[in-house]
Amino acid sequence: MKIAIAAAVLMMALGINAANGRECAGVFFPDHTEFRGTLLTLNGLGVRKASVFNVSVYVSALYLTKPSSDPQLILQSDTPSELMLEFIRGVSAHQIRESWETGFAKNSPGHPPGLEAGLAQLNSWVTDMKPGQRMTFIRIPGTGMQVDINGTVKGTIAGDEFSRTFLSIWFGDYPQTPDLKRGLLGGPCE
C-alpha cells in the first residue's frame, strides 16, 4: 500500500495522470516512472510462469528512457532502466535465489568470479515474497544496480557487468520464459 501511495504522489508531482497506464494479470503499472530526474516510460509487461502447470508467479514491468524491442540495445544502454516485479503468489526466498542462479548459469556460463560476489550480495537481501509485494531493480550505467524490496532500498550492487548479467535473466538468449521476454519487449502480456 505504501508503494502505491508513494507512486501516486510521485506521479502527481511529475504531472503524470494516474489513470494512464497498463494492466496485466490484474496488476496495474503507470505509463511512466522517474529515477533521479530521468523520466522512464513503460516499455512492456509480462507474466512469469513456472512449472509444468504454468503457474503465474509475478507480473513484470520494464521502464526505459526510450522504448525498444531490441534486448541487446537494452542491455548495452548507457541510460537508466527499471525492472519491476510484482508478485501475484507467494514465493520463498530460496525459490527466488534458485531462479536467479539458474538464469545466471544459462545466460552467462563461465562468468567472472566477481559476478558471484554481486549475486551473493543480492541473495542476502532477498526475502520471502507475498502477493502484492514488489522487487525493483534499477540499472544505473557506470554505477551498478539499485535493489528495492517492498519500498525499501537495500543497496546498490556495483558494476555494469553485474547489472547486464542480472538483466540477461529476462533479456538474454535463455530468458526465464520466452513469453515474459516478449511482453517486456513490447509484445502482448501473456
32 residue type, one letter: H
How many CB atoms neighbour CB 63 within 10 A?
26
| pLDDT band for position 113 (cuts 50, 70, 90) | confident
Q: What percent of the chain has pLDDT over 90?
A: 72
Q: What is the DSSP string of 77-120?
A: -SS-EEEEEEESS-B-HHHHHHHHHHHHHHHSTT--HHHHHHHH
Facing residues of 34 across strands? 39
The CA R_g of the chain, rounded to the nearest whole Å, is 15
- Looking at residue 44, what DSSP letter applies? E
| pLDDT band for position 115 (cuts 50, 70, 90) | confident
- Output 165 or 86, whichever has higher pLDDT: 86
pLDDT digits (tens, 9 = 90+) for 118-140: 999 999 999 999 999 999 999 99
Find out whether 2 and 148 touch, Cβ atoms under 8 Å: no
Residue 110 confidence (pLDDT): 74
Residue 5 confidence (pLDDT): 44
- CATH match for 20-184 among 2.60.40.1180, 3.40.50.970, 3.40.50.720, 3.50.70.10: 3.50.70.10
Find out whether 149 and 21 touch, Cβ atoms under 8 Å: no
Find out whether 165 and 173 touch, Cβ atoms under 8 Å: no
Query: Rounded to an integer, what distance in angstroms lies between the CA atom of residue 38 and that of residue 81?
Result: 10
Over residues 63-84, mean pLDDT: 96
Largest pairwise CA distance in the chain = 46
Residue 4 confidence (pLDDT): 44
Which residue's entry shows cell 546498490? 156
**Is the pLDDT at 18 greater than 60, yes or no?**
no
Distance of CA 172 to the CA centre of its chain: 14
| pLDDT band for position 37 (cuts 50, 70, 90) | very high
| pLDDT band for position 54 (cuts 50, 70, 90) | confident
Residue 176 confidence (pLDDT): 85
Residue 50 confidence (pLDDT): 85
For the chain, give every domain's residue range.
20-184
